[in-house]
Amino acid sequence: MTATQTCTYRLGEFHPFEAGGRQFLYLVPAGAIFEMDPSAAAVLSLLSEGAATHEELIGKLTQRDFAYHDATELVQELFRARVIVATDSIQEPLEAPPSDFPLQSLVMNLTNQCNLSCQYCYEFGDDKVATPEGKPKFMDMATAKASVDFLLEQSSGRKAVHITFFGGETLMNFPLLEQVVKYASRRAAEQGRQIDFSLTTNGTLLTPAIIEFLSQNRVGVTVSMDGPPDLQDKLRVFANGKGSYDIIAPRVKALIQNHRTRPITARVTLTKGVTDVVRIFRHLKDDLGFHEVGFAPVTTSPDRLYAIGERGMDGVLEEFHILADEYLEYALRGEMHGFSNVSDTIAELYQGVNKSHPCGAALGLMGVGPSGDIAPCHRFVDSDTHSLGNIATGVDRAKQADFLNRGHINNKYDCRTCWARPLCAGGCHHEAFVRYGDTGHPNLHYCDWIRDWTDTCLRIFGAISAQNPEFLEKFAERKALN
Ligand code: SF4
Ligand code: SF4
């Protein structure tokens, strides 16, 4: 793209931010970060007064002591980077990924049964989308093998693939998990490919033997846990209402001590009254020893008792900012802090992510339930309304295309002018369905929150890139946790 003498210029679409004493622009159509210098700032200042022709812009720059050649080069460079654009340019739609986009990750829900009765659970609670009635409660080996084969077939062209084990409570079907790890490792090795594994668990069923198996096989572990006893036991309870902290804490400590091959992560669900982010982080990181802790507000209709209201979310943001400041201090010393919500966004910024869809659901990622039904992701498993086919019969490509079409950023009218869209892309499809009854609806209830948090992460990224750029190399391979 070249600027020409006949162009009339205006400012491009960007979000300016300051970090580490430097000025940056987040270039929205490219999802890229541009560091401003005084020359670029001069052009932006001129165009902020209104559009200018090529001749006018060069003329004003030469009046500001730019040599004609330097002014022309500068305008060309800013035009190529899309910091400035032609007034008649239109927003180019973001291309959809190809229809044969290869699978990379399969989430296998080994069971839809759980030994806890967490009141906010999206699988069993008031907002559930699953319809498991009459379907198998536990996946069997035939379905599991077919699922692994499906992943290897549908991911052709990719050297490395990933399986995440999920539930219900995943470890209620640990014997199957063991067999799947062995079978999938053998099948991948036969094809000269790599496969790795992770699981999510509530931690209640961890035993020394299970921990040893997970460590030996490099299975990454995320524990769903909400914090110290008073917070964990509010909603993460057994069927008789008894809290789960006392059962889980010693098992988690043993896991962290004895699982030597992968970092162990805690995933916290924030609900009304469980929003003390800093206190929760300190307990899980410092007292129990988790390597990383990530937080997500509960997915629910706004009128549920455990829903976090707007004021509650403002409080969460304030606490996020405290941890974000700490994160930056750690990063400037070259140390990982452990707050996953920052790391996940930094990774996306470092990798220059510019999303057509909010996540990999139905794209590079799919879920499969105990019955073999295929879903866009683990949260839609066992839902008749959202099924995308079955392992035995394959993916229903028309349903998949419909899901992806509705979730595409180009079809979310409200997001078109939002500077945060390269990273947000409208937010989680499952949350959109729970809130708006449509997986393709943008999650408009938290836009201000998302933009504030994205701006915070941009500032952290900018400060690190200015003061300790080598630290960012840690994020080349990182994938966000969902
Ligand atoms: S959902 Fe809101 S924050 Fe996200 S891209 Fe759309 S408008 Fe922006
Ligand atoms: S963001 Fe939502 S839709 Fe996407 S994978 Fe996660 S839970 Fe599923």
Query: By alpha-carbon position, which residue is closest to atom 4 of ligand 1?
Result: 426
In a domain, 465, yes or no: no
Is residue 370 a contact partner of residue 111, using CB atoms and an 8 Å limit?
Answer: yes
Report residue 358 as tokens: 């909010």
Domain termination site, one of 373, 390, 407 = 390
In this structure, are 63 and 118 located in the same domain?
no
> What distances in angstroms separate CA 60 from CA 45, 69, 175, one per listed residue?
11, 13, 73
In a domain, 292, yes or no: yes
In a domain, 401, yes or no: no
- Which pLDDT belongs to residue 327? 98
- Which pLDDT belongs to residue 345? 97
In this structure, are 111 and 65 located in the same domain?
no
What separation in Å is there between the alpha carbon of 345 and the centre of ligand 2? Answer: 15
In this structure, are 290 and 148 located in the same domain?
yes
- Which pLDDT belongs to residue 481? 41
Q: Which residue has the tokens 């049964």?
A: 113
Report residue 209 as tokens: 């033997």
Backbone φ and ψ of 235, nearest 5°: -125, -20
DSSP letters, 350-385, are HTT---SSSS-BTTTEEEE-TT-BEESSGGGTT-GG
DSSP β-bridge partners for residue 105:
162, 365
Domain holding 28, by residue range, is 3-85
Is residue 83 a contact partner of residue 34, using CB atoms and an 8 Å limit?
Answer: yes
CA geometry: angle 97, 143, 128, nearest 5 deg: 65
What separation in Å is there between the alpha carbon of 190 and the centre of ligand 2? Answer: 31
- Which pLDDT belongs to residue 3? 61
What separation in Å is there between the alpha carbon of 414 and the centre of ligand 1? Answer: 7
**In angstroms, rounded to a whole number, what is the distance separating the alpha carbons of residues 296 and 113?**
23
Report residue 191 as tokens: 């094809």
In this structure, are 319 and 356 located in the same domain?
yes
What separation in Å is there between the alpha carbon of 157 and the centre of ligand 1? Answer: 33
**In angstroms, rounded to a whole number, what is the distance separating the alpha carbons of residues 173 and 205?**
10
Query: By alpha-carbon position, which residue is closest to atom 7 of ligand 1?
Result: 415
In this structure, are 163 and 239 located in the same domain?
yes
In this structure, are 117 and 49 located in the same domain?
no
In a domain, 166, yes or no: yes
- Which pLDDT belongs to residue 1? 57
In a domain, 372, yes or no: yes
Give the ligand 1 atom nearest the CA of 425: 5
Residuewise pLDDT in 10s, the chain (482 residues): 566 678 899 999 999 999 989 999 999 999 999 999 999 999 999 999 999 999 999 999 999 989 999 999 999 999 999 999 999 888 777 777 777 789 999 999 999 999 999 888 877 677 778 888 899 999 999 999 999 999 999 998 899 999 999 999 999 999 999 999 999 999 999 999 999 999 999 999 999 999 999 999 999 999 999 999 999 999 999 999 999 999 999 999 999 999 999 999 999 999 999 999 999 999 999 999 999 999 998 877 787 888 888 889 999 999 999 999 999 999 999 999 999 999 999 999 999 999 999 999 999 999 999 999 999 999 999 999 999 999 999 999 999 999 999 999 999 999 999 999 999 999 999 999 999 999 999 999 999 999 999 999 999 999 999 999 999 999 987 765 44
Smallest CA-to-CA distance from 25 within 85, 73, 88, 93 is with 85
In a domain, 177, yes or no: yes
Residue 482, ligand 2, Cβ within 6 A: yes
Q: What is the pTM of this model?
A: 0.93
Between strands 194-201 and 160-166, the pairing is parallel
Query: By alpha-carbon position, which residue is closest to atom 1 of ligand 1?
Result: 426
DSSP 3-state of 321: helix
- Which pLDDT belongs to residue 479? 64
